[in-house]
């Protein structure tokens, strides 16, 4: 169970950082697709915020406190926010970050024997796969 809680905390850390990244790109995207991407990124960071809450609550249900302070946030494993990217670069960066999260979700799912956690992870896998598909569709 300790391994699962540790994996969930790392997932929360990466997911929270992806939330911050997506919100930053929402604020800073430019170009002819500004409105569509601005709205898409807002929808996605709102979904990530809900996922953060769900993951954190699961950690609490499993019996641990959740502290996502600057020390924990600094342990994120996805790429750093880069506001110098153009819209296509932002999309590519978000796809790669979501793919990283998806791989972690699948690894947790493969080794998890906790039914409640499996349900959350399966829902997040489906949501993340859809997000990747939507982002990639904006690339043409």
Burial class from Cβ neighbours inside 10 Å (0-12, 13-18, 19+) for residue 74 reads exposed
d(C-alpha 127, C-alpha 58), whole Å = 17
CA nearest to 97, candidates 23, 5, 6 = 23
**pLDDT, tens digit, 9 for 90 and up, residues 12-28:** 999 999 999 999 999 99
Q: How far apart are the first and last CA of the chain?
A: 43
Global pTM reads 0.95
Mean pLDDT of the chain: 95
Give the pLDDT confidence of 86-119 residue by residue, as tens digits: 999 999 999 999 999 999 999 999 988 899 999 9
pLDDT of residue 46: 98
Whether the pLDDT of residue 140 is over 80: the answer is no
How far is it, in rounded angstroms, from Cα 100 to Cα 132?
Answer: 11
What are the chain's domains?
A: 2-137 (1.20.1260.10)
For 19-72, how does the pLDDT look when each residue is reduced to its tens digit (9 = 90+)?
Answer: 999 999 999 999 999 999 999 999 999 999 999 999 999 999 999 999 999 999
Q: What is the chain's alpha carbon radius of gyration, rounded to the nearest angstrom?
A: 15
């Amino acid at each position: 169970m300790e391994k699962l809680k540790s994996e969930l905390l790392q997932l929360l850390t990466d997911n929270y950082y992806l939330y911050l990244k997506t919100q930053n790109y929402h604020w800073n995207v430019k170009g002819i697709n500004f409105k569509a991407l601005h709205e898409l990124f807002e929808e996605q960071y709102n979904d990530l915020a809900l996922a953060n809450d769900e993951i954190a609550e699961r950690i609490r249900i499993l019996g641990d406190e959740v502290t996502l302070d600057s020390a924990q946030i600094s342990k994120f494993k996805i790429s750093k926010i880069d506001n110098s990217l153009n819209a296509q670069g932002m999309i590519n960066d978000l796809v790669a970050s979501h793919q990283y999260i998806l791989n972690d979700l699948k690894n947790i799912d493969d080794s998890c024997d906790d039914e409640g956690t499996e349900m959350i992870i399966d829902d997040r896998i489906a949501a993340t796969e859809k997000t990747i598909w939507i982002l990639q569709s904006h690339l043409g």
